[in-house]
Structure 1
Amino acid sequence: MEFFNPNSNIDFMGVRRLTIAIAIVLVVVSIAALAARGLNLALDFTGGTLVEAGFDAPTEQAEVVDALEAAGFRGVLVQRFDSANFAIRLAPEQSADLAERIEGEGEVESSLDARNAAVGNMVHEALRTTGKTVTIKRSEFVGPQVGKELAYNGVIAVLVVLSGIMIYIAMRFEWKFAVATVVGELHDVIVTLGFFAITGLDFDLTVLAAILAVDGYSVNDKIVVFDRVRELFRSTRGNAPSEVINRAVNSTLSRTIMTSLTTLLTVVALYLFGGPTVEGFALALIVGIVVGTLSTIFFAAPLLLSLGVTKQDLMPKARDEAELARRP
């Protein structure tokens, strides 16, 4: 079933200056947000302590926060899994203070496992003031050095992915296609990161994984359109590049929209019913898929035209002009 006629002739290239300008504005706003506000890096990157606690009865999140604050915990983030289970994140400074207190009081040896257990016990004692039975299911500490290493590795992963994409497309298509694809990918990544900077939502390893998934999904969209561009350049004669690219976008429009919609249905369901653990992952995918789909149609394809791609760019190297002229 097709919602868009493959023979339709929507003039996407006619508004390319406007759509490219909008894309540039989005990138500039996102970069400004990243520079001014930064990402709200989660414990995975900043370091700190994560404690998972479960109650024997439904408990309000406010009760948990109040109990921890009354016990002297500062900078605590409480995330609700369900009506009786919570994730409690202690900031690096709070974790360091607790570690000093534990070692100063000689309660435990300075081993990491013993320290985690001691922090879990302190949280347990604080939560018992709610009057309910509490079970500490997990207590983990992530050091600042580990967090920095994860952040560094995440940046390297994104750069490696983008470099690999550019090399592949330059070999498979032509360098102008590679540039348009990678610039489109950078647009998608930066705008998605900008969304998290503006909203202040937690940026953790699951969100980073979603960013890499968005890269793969978005490049697949762009390759489908660019493959159609290449096919039309080789099979038609006398058409202007703008006509060829416009026709390629129109002929793949139904596939692009339907693929994105079916994927979004799955990801939205994951966001609504998957629970807090995968909420950030799903939201990053939702934003990335929407941005990536729009950038394929309104940014990457127009950018390819602006780079001056022609039929000759895709033709095999000919020994003379006569041989080139005989090719379709």
Structure 2
Amino acid sequence: MHYKAFDNVSDKRFSIVAKSRYFFIFSIIITLLGIVTLLYHGLNYGVDFKAGSSVDISFKKDVSGQKAQIEQFLKDNDFGTPGMTFGAKRVTLRFDDVLTDVKENTLKQGIMDKFDKGASMEVNTVDVEIAKELQGNALKAVLVASIGIMIYVSIRFEWRFAVAAIVALLHDAFIVISLFSIFKLEVNLPFIVAVLTIVGYSINDTIVIFDRVRENLRFAKLKTHEDVANVVNASIWQTMSRSINTVMTVLFATICLLIFGSESIRMFSLAVLFGLISGAYSSIFIASPLWLALKSKQKPKPTAKSSAAS
């Protein structure tokens, strides 16, 4: 692709760079609220990350109107008040304790006798050691992905781009985690897959903008900080339609998964939905303005050419 000399004339469109302080403040406020929520509520870990049993019950008929009866049946048979997710013909129960064989048989027989003779039941159990191992592996996966991205971006661009990209990625992941904490949504293995999916999507969008910034810097006549800011702002707007079209396409598919998908992938779809919105926001309003803020701390170089090549 051939590039022509970048026009340094001030862009008359809305200056994202000039208003970046407000976007930074907004993100900081959201981050602080997320920290407070996590300290107060924590996360609603599913059976994948804590010891216990998860029971998926499939019915032949619609039982969505029998929630109260099922809850009463569980109390009468000393099952307590497990976490419950209701669908038309599917109910998921989450017990904090591991169900014994006797308890499993009592639950299955009671469901068949009282609610649906054709009901089937699947029990998944996780002990304490496996739960701890899964939590550790999930954290390692996110950490390794972040380190790999930072190394790649540092080599492909420069360290300031890498720092800005990682901050944007952590911002996206933390926003999703905070929303799941606020709404007390279940965190399980599909949630971790969703976070890694968000990281991949967000870095892709960010790299596209960074690449346009770098190419424009090569051909721009840079004399002042305002010239660099003008390049960054114009680069963001040049890739804006691409960013919006990409997020809308993926957003449509995610909403369809959320509405028409099965109960087992609902939390995954919701996490991806939150992450898509956060990722589009951070790629446009956080990553590039943050790079510019880091760049402004760099000591000026004698020529515009050397400045553009840095």
Q: TM-score, normalised by structure 2?
A: 0.87
Do structure 1's residue 77 and structure 2's residue 83 form an aligned pair?
Answer: yes
Matches within 5 A, 1:307-326: 307-308=294-295, 324=306
Partner of 1:245: 232
Matches within 5 A, 1:125-274: 125-238=109-222, 240-274=227-261
Partner-residue secondary structure (3-state), 1:58: coil
Partner-residue secondary structure (3-state), 2:295: coil
Larger radius of gyration: 1
The residue identity in structure 2 corresponding to 1:10 is: F
Q: Distance in 1 between matches of 2:234 and 2:70?
A: 58
1:204, distance to aligned residue in structure 2 (A): 0.7
1:14, distance to aligned residue in structure 2 (A): 1.0
The counterpart of 1:305, out of the listed 275, 292, 307, is 292
- CA RMSD, Structure 1 to Structure 2 (Å): 2.6
After TM superposition, which residue ranges in structure 1, 4 or more long, deviate above 6 angstroms? 310-313, 320-323
The residue identity in structure 2 corresponding to 1:230 is: R
Partner of 1:294: 281
Q: Structure 1 pair 126/164, CA: closer, same or farther in 2 (3 Å)?
A: same
Q: Distance in 2 between matches of 1:322 and 1:283?
A: 47
1:64, distance to aligned residue in structure 2 (A): 2.2
The residue identity in structure 1 corresponding to 2:14 is: I
Q: Distance in 1 between matches of 2:235 and 2:168?
A: 17
Partner of 1:43: 47
8 Å contact kept, 2:112–2:119: no
Q: Structure 1 pair 36/322, CA: closer, same or farther in 2 (3 Å)?
A: closer
Q: Distance in 1 between matches of 2:229 and 2:308?
A: 23
Q: Structure 1 pair 312/174, CA: closer, same or farther in 2 (3 Å)?
A: farther
Percent of paired sites with the same residue? 31
Do structure 1's residue 53 and structure 2's residue 57 form an aligned pair?
Answer: yes
Partner-residue secondary structure (3-state), 2:160: helix
Partner-residue secondary structure (3-state), 2:19: helix
The counterpart of 2:17, out of the listed 5, 13, 26, is 13
1:310, distance to aligned residue in structure 2 (A): 9.4
Aligned length: 295
Q: Distance in 1 between matches of 2:32 and 2:278?
A: 15
- Deviations along 1:33-84, whole A, 9 cap, x unmatched? 1122111000110121122223343223333222222211113122234x33
Q: Structure 1 pair 122/251, CA: closer, same or farther in 2 (3 Å)?
A: same
Partner of 1:33: 37
8 Å contact kept, 1:8–1:251: no
8 Å contact kept, 1:241–1:311: no
1:321, distance to aligned residue in structure 2 (A): 7.5
Q: Distance in 2 between matches of 1:76 and 1:301?
A: 46
1:87, distance to aligned residue in structure 2 (A): 2.1
Partner of 2:73: 67
8 Å contact kept, 2:53–2:125: yes
1:130, distance to aligned residue in structure 2 (A): 2.0
8 Å contact kept, 2:58–2:120: yes
Q: Distance in 1 between matches of 2:130 and 2:188?
A: 13
Partner of 1:110: none
8 Å contact kept, 2:74–2:81: no
8 Å contact kept, 2:111–2:119: no
8 Å contact kept, 2:172–2:275: yes
- Deviations along 1:66-122, whole A, 9 cap, x unmatched? 2222211113122234x3332222112xx2xx53xxxxxxxxxxxxxxx4xx44312
Q: Distance in 2 between matches of 1:187 and 1:326?
A: 28
Q: Distance in 2 between matches of 1:255 and 1:26?
A: 26
Q: Distance in 2 between matches of 1:323 and 1:187?
A: 33
Gaps of 5+ in 2: 1-10
Q: Distance in 1 between matches of 2:305 and 2:220?
A: 17
Q: Distance in 1 between matches of 2:52 and 2:307?
A: 67
1:129, distance to aligned residue in structure 2 (A): 4.7
